[in-house]
Chains A and B, each alone.
Chain A
Amino acid sequence: EAQVTQNPRYLITVTGKKLTVTCSQNMNHEYMSWYRQDPGLGLRQIYYSMNVEVTDKGDVPEGYKVSRKEKRNFPLILESPSPNQTSLYFCASSLRGQGDTIYFGEGSWLTVV
């Protein structure tokens, strides 16, 4: 089954403790991205990647890092999480860009206390 898988789905962590949210897709997609969803703000793009070793900032990249060492994986790293990073995070992928449909993971609820 074609899917985008992200883990963990739910996480409560403490301020400053590094964490990684993994994302993997099995559709051989070139384009991958991370979003955060906050009430009243919709989805905002954090980072995106157009292919292996090619990443770029989205609208809200501060406090986040990404890497794209393999085509299927695009982990999101929070080096020193803060409470304002409490949010619902989505990983997404598409074949390339332009008009290609974007497929989303189920989301990761992250709470930073």
Chain B
Amino acid sequence: QVQLVQSGAEVKKPGASVKVSCKASGYTFTTYSIHWVRQAPGQRLEWMGWINAGDGRTKHSQKLQARVTISRDTSATTAYMELNSLTSEDTAVYYCARRGSGHGVDVWGQGTTVTVSS
């Protein structure tokens, strides 16, 4: 079945970087884009950016574009999100998700909890 499986929870110190992986299976990886969305505790969903898994083109939110890098490895059918210069405000659950053939995000990873604490 179509699924996205993310890497495990991370605990980082302020100023550090984190890289979250998202392994896709059950469909042709290069046909769809992968989006990254985060949700701080008790807060709303926040769109971070996306990657065209076919040609590798990316786009990031204006808020995060200086600190976030989204990449993919087509041979591993895996997308990655790296966030630098972490602060406590980056503590959140990070989701990868596939944008389907319509324009809705139809498959979500299970989420990766990133905790930033000194």
Q: Do A and B bind each other?
A: no
User: B-contacting residues of A (Cβ < 8 Å)?
Assistant: none
